[in-house]
Structure 1
Amino acid sequence: MILHRPYHEDSDALTKIKDDLETQETVAALRAQGLQDDTFDGYAVQAVRPPLKNYAVGHGIAGMMIDQPLEDRFAANLAARGIQGGDEIVLIVCFAGEPGGAAQKLADELGRLGLVGVKVTGAVHFVHWTSQGALPIKRYPSNDAVRAAERGYTKAEDNAWKSYVTALKAAAAVHMATALKHGEDIVVARVLRFAGARPDDNRAKLNAAMTAAKTGTNTGAALRDIIMRSEPDYVYDSKRIVLRPLSHERWSAELRALLTDLSVLADPAGGAIRAETDITEARDALRNSLKAAWPAYSSGYLDGMRALLTPDATGEWASYTSAAVRSIAPPPQQPTAQPPQRTLEETRAAEALDLDEIDALIRELGGGDG
């Protein structure tokens, strides 16, 4: 039995997609042992007996299993799946095996349910599980090849994100051109509101197009120019390092809102559904692009580190057997992974869009010249 969270959910968050791809590889590797998988909230799969093992795949922080934070409920879930004394469940969850962590608490809760003798094993440190097997890590090693693999995946994320933004902009421009046929004022107002929310330096670049739209001078071309040349208002810290996840979340939300509003103006009856379809298609393309880049990253970065691990850098596992309730010590804090550290200028350079590509996509979608 392999339990995991869903990993095919619709999303444009690069960190979530990366987590999904790793979870998917882990589940596939475990499934090759002849096991069946299920999501945590499903009950279609039952626990297996030795010599087979049961697995739960998830994320951990400070000893807690984020995907199943309430050990008593998780224990009840496992009981409903038929786990019994003599069985083993392995938590492929960072820090779940540390003293007082999720593995020990789960064993305690299973004991409270009268399920004595269930072995719960968890990683004491960081853990990954690729197609090559378990990868417990205490300290991450690196070399030029590992760093190159990491940079390669970051570049793939940059390219996939630019294509995603291009697709959203192109769809918005197409709906804008159709909406203009039903009345200019409300369409112009909506796009100008979007332009007004751009950062100061970007608004300066859009000023001529904004003026043309306000005066009705070649309105369609002016509005399309605003959409095509718009830039995100990046969020960054006190050192001007861009907070990429938050910046992407805000920019995506703005573009999706613009696309949806213009689609509804173009077709009040079916515009919302059409916009949802456009967004889903763009997100699917984003995920598929990163899915294609994942094997090289997994092999070069994760399995690349596997070859570099020394005994003192290799993580450990700890096992707890369900029995009497143990005292629980407060777990230490887990360090969190950081996104690429870039300045505002570096981020703009990495995510700069190709205007010719947007224009070509607009023509492909039937948007014409506005």
Structure 2
Amino acid sequence: MASDSTCAIIALWRLCVPVGLGPQVGGDGAIPVDVLKVVLERELLGHLDDFGQSSVDEILQTYMQPDSEGVVGFLQFWKGMEEILRARGTLRSTLTRAQEEAIIGFRFLRTCLLDMAARQVSQGRSSFSVKELRYFIGRTTALTGAEGEAFWRRQARQLPEDPEMLVTGEEVASAMLTWLEQLVDEGLSGEGEDDEDSGDEEEEPEVGIERVALPPPPSLSPSPSADRLAPDRPLAIAAPTGPPPKRQVQARLSRPSLSFQSGLTALLDKGEAWPSQATKETAAEWREVIAFQVSIKRWLLEMKHEEVDLVKFHQFARTYFSKGSRPSGRSSPRNHEPRLSRAALALKAVLQNVSSKRLAEGVTREARMADVASEDVVEPC
């Protein structure tokens, strides 16, 4: 059975988001377009004619519409990926009718927010007041069917009480990503009736916001180009001051990680900054690093039900740097594969030896750092 496009788009976005960026501060709501290029380049290169473009960069600029700093928000990514799949004739849905009704609301809300964000930018970022978000969600609720309406009324109750509170576009995108994941993961079967009857008992457990009833829409309107169902009057918003406000939607708990995997995740979390003085060579090196990080994250996702240890990581690294594992026509260290293989084996032996010595001797890292480095690292090299 064909996979659902919305689920696939979410999974692809999660693959691109740097490990450790969560929804508490909207960190998973936007990523650099260069990261998307690393992930999508291989798939798009063979279909340039389908889009009438001459390069992958042109496709990403046209469909993802990154901002002036080269950053793409989740809403732009979602909309762009749907358009890419539609152009390829591969956009499909396997969701239930109830989920589809809610998705109609998602797309309407997405259009309103993207149109408003394109016109309203303050301090280098788009922003929305809670009052405006309530209005948009109110219009969204009226647009969807009965089961979709129940879903959106629940989301409205998750908003903060203060109508003048401002949130950034990244935080709104992060919240919508969380809601969309909940929709496709859990479905809507039977939730509409329970929601109306059970009151506070039906609130999502991972949301730490006081619920408030959805009031009548305030006297605000989105842009006329937002959607054919949107009002005709322009919408004005206040400019935010001070640091960006924190999101009120809590992150859902992830599964516990093993010690080695936790360390690897922490290392990936640091990321790799774009070179301050970018040249053709340094940019190519940066892309190689990002490609390796993306491959590690993909591998960790595939290994989520298995224990990830040093031995398995060593096997993964050897496979990654072996011949044929890298894209052709790109500068890479694969010509030095024998040297890299020997280095990987040496690194594995060194780390195992260091671990054994520390366990056997019972000494601290600080006390034996110099001796261990001299005996186990310098001499083999």
Q: Which has the higher helix share?
A: 2
Q: Which has the higher strand share?
A: 1
TM-score, with normalisation over the residues of structure 1?
A: 0.24
* Higher normalized contact order (CA 8 Å, seq sep 6+, divided by chain length): 1
TM-score, with normalisation over the residues of structure 2?
A: 0.23
